[in-house]
Structure 1
Amino acid sequence: MKNKITLFCISLCFTVFSTAQTLEWHQHFGNYSEDVMLAVDTDHNDNTYTTGYFGELTAFDNITLTGLGFFNGFVTKTDSNGNVLWAKTLSQPNDGDIDPNHSVIPKSISVDLNGNVIVVGYFDAGDFDANPGAGEYILSSTNYEMFIVKLDTDGNFLWATSFGATDDSFESISDVGTDSNGDIYVTGFYNSTISIAHPAGTSSITSSGFSDIFVFKYASDGYYLWMYSAGGTDFDLGMSIDVTPSGDSYITGQYRETSTFYTPMFGTESITLSTTPNYRGLFALKLDTWGNYQNAIKVGEAQSECIGTAIAVDNNNNAYVTGYYGGILISNEGTSDQFSIDSDSNYEAFVAKVDFTNSNTSWINEIDGGPDSIFGYGIDIDSNNTIYATGFFSSTLTVGNYTLNKQTTHVFDSYLVKMNSAGEFSGGYQFGALNAVESQPVTVDSNDNIIIAGSFRETANISPFASETIQITSSGFRDNYLFKIASNSLLNIADNNFDESIRIYPNPVKDILNISSQEPLQSENYTIFDINGKSMLTGIVNFNNQINISHLNSGFYFLVLNGSSERLKILKK
């Protein structure tokens, strides 16, 4: 998946203040049974692809899918305007011997440069028909098994493969990415031994502890290429992968105690990362296109929890990671660049920048939930390395000068945050409603539009804009939503677009804002908006060309005169 991903405060300000912000498009999918959307990706034409699972029945516009087991997979394609082009089912074969307890759970999705669709996940012991079309392609296992399915851009079956451990052990496939050749990279975790047969023989990896990290590569035609394993004697989890066009892969997740990330054949010592006893560590790993170890960085450690759930990579050998932690998260420990953040006895989300060139953490910022927990789940970056992160919060959310309060009666609301590559937050938005966290995928398309997918329960407002309400109601337990935010809806708060003849001072300002102009401004109407586009102050410029803003809270605002589309940024002290 493009985990550019790959949870959340975003300054979605007006491009034209006289026009309310709205979603570019939105969709509501589902039926009376359970529906959960787990992953999203886009192609070079800005079509959107999603995957997840459903119960007995689900619907995508006028396309109805029927399941054959307890949970069944779905794969969809939506055009750049939000119209559903196709939807496919991944389930057990319809051969008259239906197991009502059998499940197929897709976990992630990636689209290559030719629009081919790669879906990864797992299925229960028994048979799985990996061909969602008229034919069959049966994958069978006596244990829990992981799978890769490749479809063409129209949803037609191309090939599939599966692999798993030697016993029904602790294992899962977490994420998938593709390079410019269409080669496929997957990550996850496993216990025991995984063996993959191929024309040259059989390749195997064996875990050192309860679970180890794996990374596999397959050619675009499904031919196995290589496998990589890392870990120690405790829990080690591969959670997310992002792949560059040249085939470098970046992975994040969790390790505990001491984990080995590189073992040479001879001559030098193994490369390990370690935590304080009983702590959890957050790692970022880089492999080259041949599976050779390049670097492993300890992003941080914390006592009760510390895990990277999503990773996105820029063109400068930097990775951006989101996730959540409990306790005090310490980064760059024992160096002059050491810093820490404190979750205050609950779980908090974070966003971190990892510098693979200098092998350290550039910065790590907390998404603060106050007395309650926040979970970070998705991340992606645009062409300017602007960061978009998503997740869930259960009471309040604070990033920088911005605070959100949960608006629903459910356990969690969803969030979206925006920040620059230096780690500076520029706002936050909330949407959705649910009682359990599972996934909050986000991706950025080729035109820097933001696509967000997720699940909700009962009634929820899925618009992140204060100026818009989009209420949707689930047909059953949980339904899915999918929406697009146009790139021109996202204004960097550093931008002003007033005519050069107009100046404001002082800025930052505490009480009185002065306006200098070549034209008289007395009796001009003005409006001051907050970063969410909400009108905070209106009035008429006085005879001294001044506006009193002393009663406004500290933070960023925008000044608009006479309902113009022009604006000036204000920083209130």
Structure 2
Amino acid sequence: MKSTVMDKVVFQIGGSGWRETPEDMAIDRNGDVWVTGEFRQSIDIDGDGEDDLTTNGYLDSYVAKFDSEGDLVRAYDFGNSIFLSQDKGIGIATDSNGNAWVLGEFHGSIDIDGDGINDLTSNAEYGNSYLAKFDEEGDFVLAKEIHAEHTVSGKSIAIDSNDNVWTKGRFEGDLDLNGDGINDLTNNGDYDYDSYFAKFDSEGNLVNAFQIGGSSLEVGHGIAIDSDDNVWTTGTFSSTIDIDEDGINDLTNNGFRDGYVAKFDSEGALLFASQIGGKDEDGGRAIATDSNGDAWVLGRFQGNIDIDGDGINDLTDGSLEYPWATDSYVAKFSSNGNFVKVLNIGDYVSAIATDSNDRLWVTGEFEGNIDIDGDGNNDLTSNGSIDSYVAQFDSNGNLVQALNIGGSDSDIGYAIAADSNGNVWAAGTFRDSIDIDGDGNNDLTSNVRDIYVIQVEKATNAAPTDTTAPDTAEEDITVISAPEEVTQLKITPEEPTKAVEPNTSVSFDVNYSTEPAETPTTGIVFGMHWDSSQVAFDPVTGLTSRFSLGAQPISAVLDDPVTNGGLDGDPNTDKYILQAWIDANGNWPNNSNPTLYTANFTALPGFEGTQINFSANSDDLPANSNFVPSSIALTSRTPSPTLDLDIDGNGVIDALTDGLVAIRYLFGFRGETLTEDVVGEGATRDTSEIVAYLDETANTMLDVDGNGTAGALTDGILFLRDALGFEDRALIEGAVSEDATRTTAEAINEHMQSFGMM
């Protein structure tokens, strides 16, 4: 079932089994949504009332791709028939080319692409992990096994700017990450977990593996990559823990279990590590980074917890009357590891994400009432036993809005994802029915436990609405007003993606707009960043402001104001453009989407695809405003083959050879009857090669009259007449189809000449 609620897409993934979960989700470069998890028995992915997937055993993994409107693109299930085996997708992330990488667990053998051939086989005692890649169209590409002697469980996945894939998890026994039969890591304790994180290249080849362990249990949960490709991780440990593999314990826990947050550089060298814990059960569960290189860490705690390690408790569990109860914390650390702020979110937080404006999004579940911002006032009240929720905080951790998703039964928020274009999606499970928009009417219904997927925010980059929520327990949506409206100043290329061939040039306009529309500013520095190994910069054209300084090396700016990041580590290859505008009031133009300039690049001979980043800054920004960086993806397009009417390949276009072959082909001749007695002397193509050539080119080259289809009694006659030298009326009479787009002898001649006919 798919619907629109509050102008947002909402859809349902359901089945006949009692257990379907959306363990994780991701958004690709086109705004399409990927979801992975587990299901029991059968599942209806596209909401048409018919089951799309059926389990092979007890619980199977699924991976599904939906477009931005919530329509199903592709779906896979994979599992095995081992009794009570549990296979599931745990983490998913997308790269710059729109590929999706899935991390999960499996037992026995699994066939991922459904071709009847097992792609992976596990002989681990309690199951192994898989790492699978799917392309932008949803087609299966490859799968890797992460194998442990006893068991291994992948917990999180992230992708850096070079499309390297990083995974985080836990393992017991010896661990082989690349399937070569040689152990890469060995855990430190007997039958206790250690955690690992590993780097794979874009083809799934292991680059490096790192271990975080001690003498007792260590579980690695979250991994994230910041704007400089540094690696942030979080997890849980008991006793002591060695984070950098130097044999020396870096942290000692305060009680039963503690959490940790650690930052490594792109090569895996430890930069710093911090401990999060009190005397009870504490741990880190997930992590997300923003554009400044800061990190938000999600975790759980009991009793009291010291976040910054100064010996003073920063939070107290709001449920101390229940010794077993826990609360969630979300803590912010600066790029250099300093503790900044902690949010005490009562009940349970399942997942976090940051968007392109550095806003923090969280989802989870609560029962009764929940105080999300820690001000002592309840922000939401559940409709039933347990409801799910989505909350948004600004970059400083101030609550902006909260959405209650619930019905009369138990509803749980599982996953949330945000992309660089402003899209935010959330997923969870519900039973019976749920009301998403708080109007008192059920938006989705189910007889068992199903999955909901909702579009929380569209790609508008608009500031949150400043609205005060009604003070009523029946209202499902509470919006906490922001102190001021944030002005978004946006720099956007004319389109998000362009295809370009190696050794060819590409140009596109770069536009400027604001929200609200009329936002004055008088001078802006625009930055462009690119990978100099993929494209060469050509001078910009069409500078439209009254006073402009053409593109200059960013290295010439002592205090580089541009923040969207270079792609090749060399600031000398990046450029900035200073544009100033003086109108009657001394303001930047307020008209919608003025074109700033035209960017020009040339794809180098080995061009494989890249992106170009755009960013900006100004000393003249209005109060409470910020620039929104953007990028354009340049994809590699295979050069079109050179086509000509020399069908037999002997170097001569001849009416009695090439012309007759073309007519025979259009009349349906194939095999030897196609070429018998009409192939020219010196031909380089045999019959099968001629058929293949015409199969590929017929509707382009042989569509002489341009009606979209090559026909024997029209295009074939025109081809032969032109080859024999017919002109004017004699060329076209009785041979041009009624829906032709080329109807004159001149147009026919021009088409034929474009394919080599003289």
User: Which of 484, 503, 507 lines up with 2:455 in the alignment?
Assistant: 484
Deviations 1:194-251 (A, max 9, x none): 1345679652332336221110111111211111111222222111111246532211
Match of 2:8 in 1: 24
Aligned 1:354-503 pairs, distance under 5 A: 354-357=333-336, 359-368=337-346, 374-400=347-373, 401=375, 402-410=377-385, 412-432=386-406, 440-461=414-435, 463=436, 465-467=437-439, 469-476=441-448, 478-487=449-458, 491-492=463-464
Contact 2:231 2:266 in 1 (8 A): yes
Answering whether residue 272 of structure 2 is matched by residue 295 of structure 1, we say: yes
Contact 2:223 2:233 in 1 (8 A): yes
> Residues of 2 paired with 1:200 and 1:100: CA distance?
27
Partner amino acid, structure 1, of 2:14: G
- Structure 1 residues 165 and 535 mapped into 2: Cα distance closer, same or farther (>3 Å)? closer
Q: CA deviation at 1:428?
A: 2.4
| TM-score w.r.t. length of structure 2 | 0.57
Instruction: Name structure 1 gaps, 5 residues minimum.
Output: 1-19, 93-97, 369-373, 496-528, 537-554, 560-564, 566-573
Contact 2:37 2:63 in 1 (8 A): yes
Match of 1:220 in 2: 202
Aligned 1:251-270 pairs, distance under 5 A: 251-264=233-246, 270=248
Answering whether residue 275 of structure 2 is matched by residue 308 of structure 1, we say: no
Contact 1:252 1:282 in 2 (8 A): yes
> Residues of 1 paired with 2:77 and 2:259: CA distance?
35
Partner amino acid, structure 2, of 1:280: R
- Structure 1 residues 35 and 137 mapped into 2: Cα distance closer, same or farther (>3 Å)? same
Match of 1:348 in 2: 327
Answering whether residue 78 of structure 2 is matched by residue 101 of structure 1, we say: no
> Residues of 2 paired with 1:70 and 1:457: CA distance?
21
User: Which of 70, 76, 92 lines up with 2:64 in the alignment?
Assistant: 76
> Residues of 1 paired with 2:438 and 2:40: CA distance?
34
Deviations 1:124-182 (A, max 9, x none): 2x212233456542323243111111111222221111123212x5x421011112222
- Structure 1 residues 31 and 200 mapped into 2: Cα distance closer, same or farther (>3 Å)? closer
Larger relative contact order (CA 8 Å, sep ≥ 6) = 1
Q: CA deviation at 1:263?
A: 3.5
Deviations 1:7-38 (A, max 9, x none): xxxxxxxxxxxxx9815110011111121111
Secondary structure of the structure 2 residue equivalent to 1:331: coil
How many matched pairs? 464
Aligned 1:113-192 pairs, distance under 5 A: 113-124=96-107, 126-133=108-115, 136-143=118-125, 144-167=127-150, 169=151, 171-192=152-173
Partner amino acid, structure 2, of 1:81: E
Contact 1:21 1:468 in 2 (8 A): no
> Residues of 1 paired with 2:457 and 2:411: CA distance?
26
Contact 1:323 1:375 in 2 (8 A): no
> Residues of 2 paired with 1:385 and 1:302: CA distance?
29
Contact 1:279 1:301 in 2 (8 A): no
Deviations 1:240-288 (A, max 9, x none): 1112465322111212222111243xxxx83511222x33222111222
Deviations 1:513-533 (A, max 9, x none): xxxxxxxxxxxxxxxx62479
> Residues of 2 paired with 1:82 and 1:21: CA distance?
13
Contact 1:50 1:77 in 2 (8 A): yes
Instruction: Name structure 2 gaps, 5 residues minimum.
Output: 475-479, 485-515, 517-758
Match of 1:111 in 2: 94
Q: CA deviation at 1:557?
A: 9.4
- Structure 1 residues 166 and 201 mapped into 2: Cα distance closer, same or farther (>3 Å)? closer
Is the strand fraction higher in 1 or 2?
A: 1
Partner amino acid, structure 1, of 2:331: A
Q: CA deviation at 1:405?
A: 4.5
Match of 1:550 in 2: none
> Residues of 2 paired with 1:133 and 1:308: CA distance?
39
> Residues of 2 paired with 1:85 and 1:231: CA distance?
41
Contact 1:46 1:446 in 2 (8 A): no
- Structure 1 residues 198 and 90 mapped into 2: Cα distance closer, same or farther (>3 Å)? closer
Contact 2:387 2:410 in 1 (8 A): no
Q: CA deviation at 1:314?
A: 1.4
What's the % identity of the aligned pairs? 21
User: Which of 26, 32, 45 lines up with 1:41 in the alignment?
Assistant: 26
| TM-score w.r.t. length of structure 1 | 0.74
Deviations 1:479-524 (A, max 9, x none): 111010234597447x6xxxxxxxxxxxxxxxxxxxxxxxxxxxxx
- Structure 1 residues 326 and 199 mapped into 2: Cα distance closer, same or farther (>3 Å)? closer
Is the helix fraction higher in 1 or 2?
A: 2
- Structure 1 residues 261 and 453 mapped into 2: Cα distance closer, same or farther (>3 Å)? same
Instruction: Select the structure of larger CA radius of gyration.
Output: 2
> Residues of 1 paired with 2:473 and 2:245: CA distance?
59
> Residues of 1 paired with 2:120 and 2:104: CA distance?
15
- Structure 1 residues 104 and 111 mapped into 2: Cα distance closer, same or farther (>3 Å)? same
Partner amino acid, structure 2, of 1:187: K
Contact 1:46 1:80 in 2 (8 A): yes
Contact 1:330 1:341 in 2 (8 A): no
Match of 2:310 in 1: 334
Secondary structure of the structure 1 residue equivalent to 2:34: strand
> Residues of 2 paired with 1:535 and 1:132: CA distance?
48
Contact 2:168 2:223 in 1 (8 A): yes
Q: CA deviation at 1:431?
A: 0.7
Q: CA deviation at 1:87?
A: 1.2
